[in-house]
Amino acid sequence: MLEYQVTTHSYEETEDLGEKLAKLLKPSDVVVLNGDLGVGKTTLTRGLARGLGIKRNVKSPTFTLIREYKDGRIPLYHMDAYRLESSPDEDLGFDEYFNGDGITMVEWPQFIKDEIPDDHLTINIERLSDTDRQVTFKLHGDKFDQRGFDQL
């Protein structure tokens, strides 16, 4: 498993990192996002959406579980699995998202860990200060090799 780290120093830099990430991802990629509340998971996803050409405002999917954005060059599916803690066996059609035509971002993946494909990208975001974040990318599986994550 390869691992890369990037430190951002502002909200804007975290969003810009997401935009750069969009250039490296492909349809059917699954990205799991880990980090405390308010650390920047949705900010990174907002930048990713911008990098995909999505014009709609990206909001946290906390109350809807899944937000779909299909107006970019690749569809983006933004999931928040937090509410599934009490019912992890609920069938929401994860296979259709994870093996479909879009990129799937999953916040709070620990609540659906058995559904996450073996080949996925894990992004851990850690708060270093009010503005600084350490973003760690962990590549699980061969499908992410040679994509340029070392250039982020």
The CA-to-CA distance between both ends of the chain, in Å, stands at 17
What does the pLDDT read at residue 125? Answer: 98
At 62 the pLDDT is: 65
Q: Check residue 60 and give its pLDDT.
A: 77
pLDDT of residue 17: 98
Q: What are phi and psi of 115, to 5 degrees?
A: -90, -20
What pLDDT is recorded for position 83? 64
* pLDDT score for 106: 93
Residues in CB range of 38: below 8 A, 6 or more apart: none
pLDDT for 63 equals 63
Domains within the chain, CATH numbers bracketed: 2-141 (3.40.50.300)
Q: Which residues of the chain have pLDDT under 50?
A: 88
Long-range contacts of 81-88 (CB under 8 A, 24+ apart): 81/106, 81/107, 81/108, 81/109, 81/110, 81/111, 81/112, 82/107, 82/108, 82/111, 84/108, 84/111, 84/112, 85/111, 88/112, 88/114
